[in-house]
Amino acid sequence: MVDHNAPKPLATGLRMAWLNATDWVAIALDHCKPIRVSLLILAFSTIVITNVDQAAELFLIAMWADPSEIRYVSLLITSALAGLAVWYAAYNAYRLTYPRWPALQDPRAAPLRRWLPRVLGIIVPLLVLFGYVAALRGTPHATCTTAAQCHRRDWRTAGLLIEAAALIVFFIGPQQLKARLFGPRKAAAQSHVAEQRVQSITVLGTLPLSIFLAVLILNVLITALVVVQPRQFDGMGSLAVLLIAGSFFCMSGGFLCMLADRRGIPLLTLLALISISLHALHLNDNHRVRQYPAMSTHQRPDVPPAENRPDFDAYAQAWLRSRCTPQRACPVIVVSTEGGGLRSAAWTAMVLSRFTALVDQIAPPNSGEPLFERYFFAASGVSGGSLGLATYVAALQTPPHTGLSAENLSDQTLNHDFLAPMMANAWFVDFTQRWLPGALFDDRGRALTRGLEQAAEEQGMSAFAQPFSALYEQVDGSVKTDVPALFFNSTTVGEGWRFVQDPFRPYTTSPWTTAFDGSQWLDPRIPLSEVVLNSARFTYLSPAGTLQTAKQPPPAPASLQLVDGGYFENSGTTTLLEVIQLLRKTAAKQGQPLQIIVLHISNDPTLHDFVDAHNSSNPLPLYSATCPRVQSPTERKSYGEITAPAVALLDTRDARGEYARARLLASLHINADNPGSGDVLWHMRLCPGNYPLPLGWTISPPVFDEMHRQLEQNYPLASMAKWLAQQLSDADQP
């Protein structure tokens, strides 16, 4: 008789297989929990390496461009330390038993507990190698350009390979090494001790506890050191700083999680709740905008002094009187420059310095002031473009006051690793501040401004640490027109408006459409470096700044929060167009005709050209370099209902920039029959080239070389400078 209720062999086998698979999933998940800090760090590092262009540039700098052997050795040492930290933290985490995670006691998972720490330790040097290989794949011409660079690349790559191999041997083959050193019995006995599980962290042993406590104390000391001197890691390089921070996170975070996990305390969840609560209650905001040089980012501002900034109308009138003759059109050079981190800053300063030098060589001025600078009236910058404008202007104020010296000073100032001190502050100081009530420390934005000030001072330029308005004040207190009027654009968080910063006193009626007049909010003593930072609060890299003032500006919200100017639009042309309109009104009152010469400086190699009609053999009145066309997909990509709104929000930022450029072009009075008498627009753009041009706050010498190559090869600089010199010389004749 057949028993139909008896279990079927196939069904039984499938059920058992399902149960076994479920068990192993539970075991794997429980084994991830004690080492979650290390896993999160490795996952975050992988995402950054594979998706962030700036990370690729850091690897290329470390392996190719950086001549410093100290920074390369620092990379090797810190990558080895990071691998050892990940391994050691995971190894000791698995030596503890955890009552709420029973799968960690499963004897079947002993090989997993033994091998997973080793694998994680090996991943660190392999990630460094992977980052370098990924950077090479993204480089159009992944070959070195000089013999010295080839040798440097080869032996540095070999050094990374040797280190990775040594760590693999250390992690994978310790038993074999122990067997050779101590004999099979001693090696087996030591392996048995290592596999023993303990009930308390105090039973781990004197050496592990001493190491963990020493690392924790060292973490606190380094944090304090970064507070006092944030540029202490400059000589190590950004990659080394990130590896050091990751090592401390793994060791200190892993140790604290071990203490909490044994008692069933969800430490990371509690820390997240504390941080969110302090942030929501505004109890630990250390991102305040510095209103004067002595102010810290964790202080509230004092009452500002009496207004002593120049008036824009007085500046414009004095500028026109000193340069223009009412009977003929007066050439007026204005500049808009786009954001793009240090890439934009270097390109902006390079273009302006080169034109200054070329025009001065062709037509030395009668007044002793370089002609280009003399007729350079105003500029509007966003983010890195603002930094480029500030660097160019500061360089021209430094003897011997020539374009060639300005270009050299600008290159030397911007050829710094501004990312390393920011990262040191972000991961040691700002990270610690998130769990502490009360604003106690300067933030990573201050680390950037301090780095800019010190880099400029090394080149003899003190303007970055001085009040912005001081550039426009004569010794006798009268307005100084030798420096072009700079307008730096930021964006407010609550309104999404432009926040226009300039060195002038508040306007009686704001000339800005749907924007805040920064002069109403900013102290007359605000340093140039802080104004640049407000425009260049690069997403997440630089924090949003809380702007508070002791005076109450009209209209008067309690405070504003500033982010990068590129959030509104990245071209800077919206503000420049309004500046041109202001100047035309002032000139019309004096009966002064103007010829507007616009230099629009963009740095995004993928940017669409907004100057449609141009002739490369005759660069007037419109000119833009012809970049190789990027092959566009034949079919338009479609997005789902979740991603479509986010993509649209991001794309509208670029669209606003294109719209602003088109409006600027349409506002010009271009005389096609007689180009020399009408307005002019030159679009100085970067193209895709022989070397990647990354965003961020550190770039390498090959990036400067690529920019110099494009400036010289993509533009008829000689003919452009000759025409410009002729226009300016004619106007400069008495």
Q: Decide if pLDDT at 620 tops 70.
A: no
Asked whether residue 366 carries a pLDDT value surpassing 80, the answer given is: no
What are the residues facing 335 on neighbouring strands? 379, 599
| Weakest-pLDDT range from 251-260, 272-281, 676-685 | 676-685
Average the pLDDT over 562-589 and give the result: 93
Q: How confident is the model at residue 245 (pLDDT cuts 50, 70, 90)?
A: very high
Q: Which residues pair with 288 in a beta bridge?
A: 546
pLDDT digits (tens, 9 = 90+) for 86-112: 999 999 999 888 888 877 877 888 888
Give residue 403's pLDDT band: very low, low, confident or very high (50, 70, 90).
low
Selection from 132-136, 170-174, 257-261 with the highest mean pLDDT: 257-261
Mean pLDDT of 616-622: 63
pLDDT band at 391 (very low <50, low <70, confident <90, very high): very high
Question: Whole-angstrom Cα distance, residue 483 to residue 473?
Answer: 10
Q: What's the CA dihedral at 227, 228, 230, 233 to 10 degrees?
A: -110
For tokens 């032996």, the residue is 155
Residue 180, pLDDT above cutoff 60 = no
User: What DSSP assignment string belongs to 186-197?
Assistant: HHHHHHHHHH--
pLDDT score at 139: 67
Please report which confidence band the pLDDT of residue 633 belongs to, taking 50, 70 and 90 as the band edges.
very low
Judge whether 50 and 687 are in contact, CB under 8 Å: no
SS3 (DSSP) at 121: helix
Rounded to whole angstroms, how far apart are CA atoms 610 and 630? 15
Higher pLDDT among residues 48 and 189, named by residue: 48
632: pLDDT confidence band, cut at 50, 70 and 90?
very low
The better pLDDT of the pair 690, 227 is held by: 227
Residue 429 or 4, more confident: 429
Q: What is the pLDDT of residues 696-716, one digit of tens each?
A: 888 877 888 889 999 998 888
Q: Tokens in use for 93? A: 């985490």
Least confident of 56-65, 293-302, 436-445: 56-65
Q: What is the per-residue pLDDT for 187?
A: 45
Nearest to 655 by CA among 568, 575, 537: 568
Q: In this predicted structure, what is the pLDDT of residue 540?
A: 81
Residue 267 burial by Cβ neighbours in a 10 Å radius (0-12, 13-18, 19+): middle
Round the average pLDDT of the chain to a whole number and report it.
Answer: 84
pLDDT over 90 at 157, yes or no: no
User: Higher confidence at residue 133 or residue 485?
Assistant: 485
Residue 671 has pLDDT above 80, yes or no: no
Among 162-176, 184-198, 221-235, 498-512, which range has the highest average pLDDT? Answer: 498-512
d(CA 408, CA 402): 10
**547 φ/ψ angles, rounded to the nearest 5 degrees:** -100, 115
What average pLDDT does this structure show over 343-347? 94
Region 568-578: mean pLDDT is 94
Looking at residue 483, its pLDDT comes to: 93
Q: Which residues pair with 680 in a beta bridge?
A: 597
Per DSSP, which regions of 162-308 are E strands? none
The pLDDT, as a whole number, for residue 539 is 79
Token pair 């009268």 in the structure block, residue: 478
The model's confidence at residue 369, banded by pLDDT at 50, 70 and 90, is confident
- The pLDDT of residue 138 is 66
Instruction: Provide Rg for the chain, Cα atoms.
Output: 30
- Tell me the range of 158-172, 183-197, 641-655 where mean pLDDT is highest: 158-172
Q: Which positions ≥6 away from 233 have C-beta within 8 Å?
A: 226, 240, 241, 244, 420, 421, 423, 424
Selected residue with higher pLDDT from 103 and 386: 386
pLDDT at position 194 is 47
Of the ranges 17-21, 74-78, 650-654, which is most confident? 74-78
Which structural domains are found in the chain, ordered by start? 28-265 (no CATH), 312-627+645-732 (3.40.1090.10)
Burial class, 508, CB count within 10 angstroms (exposed 0-12 / middle 13-18 / buried 19+): exposed
Indicate the length of the chain as a whole number.
734
- State the DSSP code for 473: B
Query: How high is the pLDDT of residue 192?
Result: 45
Q: What percent of the chain has pLDDT over 90?
A: 39
**Dihedral in degrees, nearest 10, Cα atoms 491, 497, 499, 504:** 170
Strands 622-624 and 485-492, bridge-based pairing: unpaired
Model confidence at 428: pLDDT above 80: yes
Lowest-confidence pick of 165-174, 199-208, 452-461, 567-576: 165-174
pLDDT at residue 183 is higher than 60: no
The confidence band for 181, taking pLDDT boundaries of 50, 70 and 90, is very low
